[in-house]
Structure 1
Amino acid sequence: MNSFAKNNVVGLHSGSVYEDIMTHINDFESGFTSQNYKSSLSRFFMWMRGKELTELTEEDLYIRNADLLKYRNYLKEIKDEEGGRKYSNNSINNYIAAIQSLYKFLEKNDYEVKSIVTKIKPLADDSQRCGTLYAHEAEKMAEVVLSTVKGIEKSALIHMAYTTSFRKSSLLNIRYSDIVKHDIYDYYEVAVIGKGNKKHTVPISCELYNQLLQIKKQDYYKKYQDDKVFHLSKTTIQEMMDFLKQELNIPPHRNIKFHSFRNVASMYGTLEEAKAHYNHSSYDVTERYRHKDNDLSNSLSLRIDKNIDDNIFNGLSKEELIEIILKQHEGAIFQMKRDAQNILERRGDM
């Protein structure tokens, strides 16, 4: 008989097991963390006891170190739809961390549990962050892929991927009904349910929306009745990426993946704009994944040591000025192009 049988005193805890678990979960500042922990705990107790969190009793909380090891092995064995491992080592470590955190809380609040039994050595870090992809490369990929099977659809998928920064799963679930014309401004809004079940809405241009409509005009699209924009399997997308890397001579060490499209936008705009664009819960997360420019030639330490007259540009020709502009960081070039467009519109030249 375990130690729970000895504590059958009414009122030992002020609330039910579920209420106390939720008190712990809701104590996190990040709603994203709270949602992940709740999901992780629900998964564990369904495997361990076959119960929802709302059904748990104090007796159900009894676990052994061996149980946690068995559960981790169970997670490692789960396969995805392509036969590979569904959960990475890092994901599994996060799921286990949620359990460990809960048992520390329970022990602190006089439950007859020992948090030490949840202590197991973390699995090795198997993360491999996808490599950096630049805007001009993404644009070239969208162009090259047009010559392949379902080229219009693949090109639109790439364009959507690097423009909206939606994850692959979100992109593949978009329906035409999710895309709505703004009632005032000249753009469309695309709404998806992203990571952590958070709704995320991103605007797209009328040109991109018209590109999506071209998919509907393809003969093969007539067989689909689900209103989804994209009908590309994950295998097809992987084969597309392999083809593009070969066509553009992108070396393996750059580790370019489909997810690389997601980070293209991070070189544009401010940190605040990037946080909103990616729907991140904190600036720390945005900064961690922000597109880093490895060119240090324009660093503060070098610029501050050079006193150059502001009139230096007056001695250059138009062609020389354009040459300098085109050598700048892509985010800076985009901003200058946008400023130039605004000037031409004010002059009535566009």
Structure 2
Amino acid sequence: MANFETSYIDDYICENIEEFLKFKGRRSINTEKTYRSALNMIFKDKLFKSEYKYITVNDIENKLNSDVLFEYFDDMFYREKEDGTRKYSNQTINNRQSAIKSLIEYLRGRKVIKYDLDDLTILESLPTTGEEIEMIPFDLAMKYAEYFGRESQGLEKSLIINLATETGMRAKELLSAEWSNFIEVEDGVILKSNGYNKGKGNKEWIDKISKELYNELLQLKTIGNEKKLFTLTYKQLDGMMKRGNRILNKTGIDYSFHSFKKLAVTMCYLNNGNCIDSAMKKARHSNVNTTMRYLRLTDLNVTGIISAKMNTSEKLYKTVSHELLLECLEEMRPEMLLLLNNKIKNKSSEGDYL
């Protein structure tokens, strides 16, 4: 009879985790309690294991790799309660990040696991002062798309920014998007969730884009992306935004990929006559308060509008020269010009100004 060698692919590391927690407890019993609670939640949420004795090397190395952790904490940041407020505070997220990062560093140092610690740099501490992610200006978003279009995987990077700006889809939804999500119709292309690719909270989502944008996206098939649109990772998107903020951004604001969603929601709101319902649908929010928070915290240059109105004639634009009017329009923000051009286009299509 043949001899078979029996070995375990995964080694349980519960004793190492307990050692780590006891080590933390030497300096502060509160730190040990906080870390123990935080790790319990991560193991339960991502590994579906509630006890340390079932945690393995493979769990840490592969099932909790940097991309998985980035997605996990990103989802925590945007998860909402029924009243539209955030479910998790920045401090709670920071506690969990610190716990898992410290554990991985400890296990790596003890040579229990193999893990590239540089990958953990994408997990940055969040501000604890209630700061919100800002909307990126439209012209800057287009600069990012143009700049990253010249990098490796430039076509994907440029188009994922354009699609995020157009639809307001989150990074997770975009990275999971497949060609089967698209349905061509007479006046455009429907982009709709199906199967596993649903939005936050396992919700269905739907949007509509122009055929022109869809044709641009089809270029991705020419580089071998036959099933999914994008082969990028969360880590690449995060690095991309950091480079953009450093190289192209002079505002002093650190924009994240989610800033494109804020831009999409804001432009939808303005493009539809300040319709909060349209913006809410665009954002796929379940509570209008969340959408209001998006719009209220976005700098739309409306501060002091009453005073400005008192000191400026409402009909001034009708009295100035054509040259001055054009000069002033050229200096307006690109998104404002886009609204004006859309209004002109719609009026022209009605036949009154042909």
TM-score by length of 1: 0.61
Extract unaligned runs of 5+ from structure 1. Answer: 1-65, 99-121
The residue aligned with 2:323 is 319
Residue 339 to residue 172, structure 1, CA distance change in 2 (3 Å): same
Whole-Å Cα distance in 2 between the matches of residues 337 and 343 of structure 1? 10
Any conservation in 2 of the 1:89–1:123 contact (CA below 8 Å)?
A: no
The residue aligned with 1:191 is 192
Map Cα deviations across residues 221-249 of structure 1 (whole Å, 9 max, x no partner): 1xx66x11111122222232233223314
Residue 141 to residue 85, structure 1, CA distance change in 2 (3 Å): closer
Any conservation in 2 of the 1:132–1:256 contact (CA below 8 Å)?
A: yes
Residue 318 to residue 229, structure 1, CA distance change in 2 (3 Å): same
Tell me how many residue pairs correspond in the alignment. 250
1:306: Cα distance to partner?
3.2
1:339: Cα distance to partner?
1.7
The residue aligned with 2:263 is 264
Extract unaligned runs of 5+ from structure 2. Answer: 1-31, 47-59, 83-90, 95-125, 270-274
* 1:333 is the counterpart of 2:337: yes
Larger Rg: 1
> How is 1:168-317 mapped onto 2 (pairs within 5 angstroms)?
168-182=171-185, 185-192=186-193, 193-218=198-223, 221=224, 227-250=227-250, 253-268=252-267, 269=269, 270-290=275-295, 292-293=298-299, 295-296=301-302, 299-303=305-309, 305-306=310-311, 308=313, 310=315, 312-317=316-321
1:147: Cα distance to partner?
1.2
1:298: Cα distance to partner?
5.4
Residue 239 to residue 272, structure 1, CA distance change in 2 (3 Å): same
Any conservation in 1 of the 2:188–2:210 contact (CA below 8 Å)?
A: yes
Q: CA RMSD in A?
A: 3.6
TM-score by length of 2: 0.60
Whole-Å Cα distance in 2 between the matches of residues 231 and 143 of structure 1? 19
1:278: Cα distance to partner?
0.9
Any conservation in 1 of the 2:329–2:337 contact (CA below 8 Å)?
A: yes
Residue 129 to residue 189, structure 1, CA distance change in 2 (3 Å): same
Map Cα deviations across residues 260-306 of structure 1 (whole Å, 9 max, x no partner): 11111233222221101111112101011226226346512432x33
The residue aligned with 2:117 is none
What residue identity is the alignment partner of 1:75? M
Whole-Å Cα distance in 2 between the matches of residues 90 and 314 of structure 1? 49
Whole-Å Cα distance in 2 between the matches of residues 86 and 257 of structure 1? 14
> How is 1:1-350 mapped onto 2 (pairs within 5 angstroms)?
70-75=36-41, 80-82=64-66, 91=76, 123=92, 126=126, 129-182=132-185, 185-192=186-193, 193-218=198-223, 221=224, 227-250=227-250, 253-268=252-267, 269=269, 270-290=275-295, 292-293=298-299, 295-296=301-302, 299-303=305-309, 305-306=310-311, 308=313, 310=315, 312-328=316-332, 330-345=334-349
Any conservation in 2 of the 1:267–1:331 contact (CA below 8 Å)?
A: no
The residue aligned with 1:11 is none
